[in-house]
Structure 1
Amino acid sequence: MSGPLDGVKVVDLTTVVVGPIATRTLADQGADVIKVEAPGGDILRFLAAGSRTPAMSGKFINFNRNKRSIGLDIKQPEGLAAMKALLAKADVFVTNVRPQGLERAGLDFASLHALNPRLIHCGIVAFGRGGRYYNRPAYDPIIQSLSGVAGTFHRATGEPRFVPMVMTDHTTGLIAAQSVGFALYRRERTGVGEAIEVPMFENMASFVMSEHLGAATFDPPEGPSGDARLLSPDYRPLPTKDGYLTVRPNNNRQAFAFFDAIGKPELKDDPRFRTALTRTQNAPDYFRVQVEALATKTTAEWLEIFAKADVPAGPYNEIDDLLEDPHLAEVGFWHFDDHPTEGRIRRTKVPNSFSGGMREEVLPAPQLGRHTREVLRELGHDEAAIEAMLASGAAFEGLS
Structure 2
Amino acid sequence: MSGGPLEGIRVIDLTSVVVGPICTRMLADQGADVIKVEPPEGDILRRLAQGSRNPGMSGKFIQFNRNKRSICLDLKQQDGMAAMRKLLENADVFVSNVRPNALERLGLDPATLAALNPRLIHVGILAFGSEGRYANRPAYDPVIQSLSGVAATFHRATGEPRFVPMVMTDHVTGLIAAQCIGFALFRRERTGIGEAIEVPMFENMASFVMSEHMGAATFDPPAGPSGDNRLLSPDYRPLPTKDGFITIGPNTDAQAFAFFDAIGQPELRHDPRLNSASARTANAAHYFSIRKSAMASRTTDEWLAILGPRDIPCARYNTFEDLMADPHLADVNFFEPEDHPTEGALRRTRTPNRFSGGMREDKLPAPRLGAQTRELLAQLGYDDTQIAAMMEAGAAKAPTA
Q: Normalised by the shorter chain, which TM-score bucket?
A: over 0.9
Show the counterpart of 1:350.
Answer: 351
Tell me the distance in 1 between the aligned counterparts of 2:400 and 2:288.
Answer: 54
Query: How far is the alpha carbon of 1:231 from its aligned partner?
Result: 0.1
Show the counterpart of 2:9.
Answer: 8
What secondary structure does 2:246 align onto?
A: strand
Show the counterpart of 1:191.
Answer: 192
Tell me the distance in 2 between the aligned counterparts of 1:312 and 1:68.
Answer: 43
Query: How far is the alpha carbon of 1:277 from its aligned partner?
Result: 0.7
Tell me the distance in 2 between the aligned counterparts of 1:333 and 1:37.
Answer: 29
Show the counterpart of 1:95.
Answer: 96
What aligned pairs does 1:360-371 form with structure 2 within 5 A after superposition? 360-371=361-372
Show the counterpart of 1:38.
Answer: 39
Tell me the distance in 1 between the aligned counterparts of 2:289 and 2:93.
Answer: 51
Query: How far is the alpha carbon of 1:399 from its aligned partner?
Result: 8.6
What secondary structure does 1:10 align onto?
A: strand
What secondary structure does 1:70 align onto?
A: strand
What secondary structure does 2:293 align onto?
A: helix
Tell me the distance in 2 between the aligned counterparts of 1:133 and 1:397.
Answer: 37
Tell me the distance in 1 between the aligned counterparts of 2:47 and 2:130.
Answer: 31
Show the counterpart of 1:262.
Answer: 263
Residue by residue over 1:194-216, the C-alpha shift from the partner in whole angstroms, topping out at 9 and shown as x without a partner, is 00000000000000000000000
Show the counterpart of 1:222.
Answer: 223
Tell me the distance in 2 between the aligned counterparts of 1:92 and 1:131.
Answer: 25
Tell me the distance in 2 between the aligned counterparts of 1:192 and 1:308.
Answer: 55
What secondary structure does 1:150 align onto?
A: helix
Show the counterpart of 2:306.
Answer: 305
| 8 Å CA contact 1:40, 1:399 repeated in 2 | no
Query: How far is the alpha carbon of 1:50 from its aligned partner?
Result: 1.6
Count residues in correspondence: 400
Tell me the distance in 1 between the aligned counterparts of 2:33 and 2:356.
Answer: 21
- Mark the CA change 1:260 to 1:213 in structure 2 (over 3 Å): closer, same or farther: same
What secondary structure does 1:35 align onto?
A: strand
Show the counterpart of 2:152.
Answer: 151
What secondary structure does 1:180 align onto?
A: helix
Tell me the distance in 2 between the aligned counterparts of 1:51 and 1:295.
Answer: 41
| 8 Å CA contact 1:248, 1:311 repeated in 2 | yes
Tell me the distance in 2 between the aligned counterparts of 1:47 and 1:347.
Answer: 19
Show the counterpart of 2:57.
Answer: 56
| 8 Å CA contact 1:176, 1:198 repeated in 2 | yes
Query: How far is the alpha carbon of 1:308 from its aligned partner?
Result: 1.5
Query: How far is the alpha carbon of 1:398 from its aligned partner?
Result: 3.7
Show the counterpart of 2:141.
Answer: 140
What secondary structure does 2:66 align onto?
A: coil
| 8 Å CA contact 1:368, 1:399 repeated in 2 | no
Q: CA RMSD in A?
A: 0.9
Query: How far is the alpha carbon of 1:49 from its aligned partner?
Result: 1.7
2:252 is the alignment partner of 1:251:
yes
Tell me the distance in 1 between the aligned counterparts of 2:137 and 2:321.
Answer: 37
Tell me the distance in 2 between the aligned counterparts of 1:119 and 1:305.
Answer: 57
Show the counterpart of 2:331.
Answer: 330
Q: Percent identity?
A: 70
| 8 Å CA contact 1:17, 1:63 repeated in 2 | yes
2:76 is the alignment partner of 1:75:
yes
Residue by residue over 1:62-113, the C-alpha shift from the partner in whole angstroms, topping out at 9 and shown as x without a partner, is 0000000000000000000100110001000000000001000110000000
Query: How far is the alpha carbon of 1:391 from its aligned partner?
Result: 0.6
Query: How far is the alpha carbon of 1:274 from its aligned partner?
Result: 0.9
Instruction: Tell me which stretches of 4 or more aligned residues in structure 1 moved more than 4 Å.
Output: none
Tell me the distance in 2 between the aligned counterparts of 1:193 and 1:109.
Answer: 10
Show the counterpart of 1:282.
Answer: 283
Tell me the distance in 1 between the aligned counterparts of 2:16 and 2:130.
Answer: 21
Tell me the distance in 2 between the aligned counterparts of 1:399 and 1:257.
Answer: 66
Residue by residue over 1:136-188, the C-alpha shift from the partner in whole angstroms, topping out at 9 and shown as x without a partner, is 01000000000000000000000000000000000000000000000000000
- Counterpart of 2:184, as a letter, is A
Q: Structure 2: which 5+ residue stretches go unaligned?
A: none
- Counterpart of 2:322, as a letter, is D
- Counterpart of 1:247, as a letter, is I
Show the counterpart of 1:26.
Answer: 27
What secondary structure does 1:196 align onto?
A: strand
What secondary structure does 1:12 align onto?
A: strand
| 8 Å CA contact 1:88, 1:115 repeated in 2 | yes
TM-score normalised per structure 2 = 0.99
Tell me the distance in 1 between the aligned counterparts of 2:51 and 2:222.
Answer: 51
Show the counterpart of 1:169.
Answer: 170
Show the counterpart of 1:207.
Answer: 208
Tell me the distance in 2 between the aligned counterparts of 1:47 and 1:232.
Answer: 35
Tell me the distance in 2 between the aligned counterparts of 1:5 and 1:380.
Answer: 25
Show the counterpart of 1:121.
Answer: 122
Tell me the distance in 2 between the aligned counterparts of 1:325 and 1:44.
Answer: 28
Show the counterpart of 1:240.
Answer: 241
| 8 Å CA contact 1:39, 1:399 repeated in 2 | no
Q: Structure 1: which 5+ residue stretches go unaligned?
A: none
- Counterpart of 2:64, as a letter, is F
Residue by residue over 1:329-374, the C-alpha shift from the partner in whole angstroms, topping out at 9 and shown as x without a partner, is 0111111110000000000101000000000111000000000000
Tell me the distance in 1 between the aligned counterparts of 2:171 and 2:78.
Answer: 34
TM-score normalised per structure 1 = 0.99
